[in-house]
Structure 1
């Protein structure tokens, strides 16, 4: 009898988590709609509401509002804080953007190695833009050792994933010429 009770408790807990996830997703979607309608106050409010539920998409979108200064004072440090939270939840766009923040020192202390690590995490999980940026980091030796074969690998992966990589970046000679 006790085992069956535990099954139901676990099942109900799973349903509650799914319902909360759906609700925060719906609220985040309302935020995106408001943003597209240029109702930035509502967008911010909806994103903040979804963030309380741990919605990584909402964290990413609100971070973008802080980067763009739309509906909020432009603040790269606040954007970075939101991106840190979303990246910790393995949100690929946040990993990429936060990685770029670290590479260039936007809103965080410049740390190209940390930035490359975040970008690589998104690339390994199939994010085409992250693959492209990681290829550039390897080609230029920024945050990672200069490694043309690795750069070429990531450029080809980005192309295969649908990113429009220029043909000259799909050869070792082209990458070496670009990053002398």
Structure 2
């Protein structure tokens, strides 16, 4: 399974933002415009907010550049907006920065940087960041190869995902990893999971 399922998480994160109830204002007016497929209007409303430092607007504007809705598709510009939001702690943006680095979209490919940003998002509970971080540890891409750490993150993602094709893919990845592990190593991975769950969210 390839790392950096950027499009899927982008869609899920946008759905989460669009599904929330919020006070009236340009951000929410842009969300209404997005629902109505008035993408140019959404860009018009979100861009000033993004330029003023509003992290949700930065993330949403970046997502439009990925989709090519209301603006011309531009991975480099999308990455710029994701990076700005990620630097403010936006978890979905942190994931997308990691995915951009992993796929070399809008920025030079770097598994080291991908792992760094996936970890930040994973520590905030972003399931696909946990999945991709686990895959990087399993392959030794951007991080030292570590089956214990790989299984920790893959299992965290597996139990957070609903029953779906993605969950089946994670199960296969877990099977591949555990086939190379001792019983003691599997126990260590499960202990690390419990320790991670006991911690407060890391922003």
Q: CA shift at 1:155, angstroms?
A: 0.9
The 3-state SS of whatever aligns with 1:153 is helix
Q: Find the aligned partners of 2:139 and 2:98 in 1 and give their Cα distance.
A: 16
Runs of 4+ in structure 1 off by over 2 angstroms are 159-176
Q: CA shift at 1:174, angstroms?
A: 5.7
In the other structure, the counterpart of 1:169 is 173
Q: Check the 8 A contact 2:137/2:146 in 1, yes or no.
A: yes
Q: Check the 8 A contact 2:130/2:154 in 1, yes or no.
A: yes
TM-score, normalization by structure 1: 0.77
Q: Find the aligned partners of 1:53 and 1:42 in 2 and give their Cα distance.
A: 18
Q: CA shift at 1:145, angstroms?
A: 1.7
Q: Which has the higher contact order (CA 8 A, sep 6+)?
A: 2
Q: Find the aligned partners of 1:51 and 1:135 in 2 and give their Cα distance.
A: 32
Q: Which has the larger radius of gyration?
A: 1
Are residue 50 (structure 1) and residue 54 (structure 2) matched? no
Equivalent pairs, count: 154
In the other structure, the counterpart of 1:95 is 94
In the other structure, the counterpart of 2:37 is 38
In the other structure, the counterpart of 2:26 is 27
Cα RMSD (Å)? 2.1
Q: CA shift at 1:160, angstroms?
A: 3.0
